[in-house]
Amino acid sequence: MRVYLDEDIASQELANRLSARHQLVATIRGASDRRAWEHAQSHDATVITMNSDDFILLAPEATGHHGLLLVYREREDRRSISAAEISVAVDRVEAEGGFEDRVINLNHFRS
């Protein structure tokens, strides 16, 4: 599976964890959300982002999109989903049928 990490979530730790099992598409720094979404879709990549407000509006515009995985920060940092938990959540969603045409809250799939 191909994955595009939006720049708001593109930590080196998460990239390392995901690249062990998935192909990462290069993150475009400073690009508009629309440009990032189009870039990901042109590379058949699922988008992972914390920027739910903007990307959730873009997904319905694309029939047959490759998936949008949303990560939400908790009010308390210690409760926020970690890179390790995001990686596990991606694997769980993939095992349950994949990402095509889906918008998924990864927080619901944390361990």
Mean pLDDT, consecutive 10-residue stretches, the chain (111 aa), reads 93 95 94 94 95 89 86 73 93 88 90 70
What pLDDT is attached to residue 75? Answer: 66
Handedness of CA 31, 32, 36, 38 (dihedral sign): negative
pTM of the model: 0.91
Separation of alpha carbons 24 and 66, rounded Å: 14
Q: Say if CB 61 and CB 44 are below 8 A apart.
A: no
What pLDDT is attached to residue 100? Answer: 87
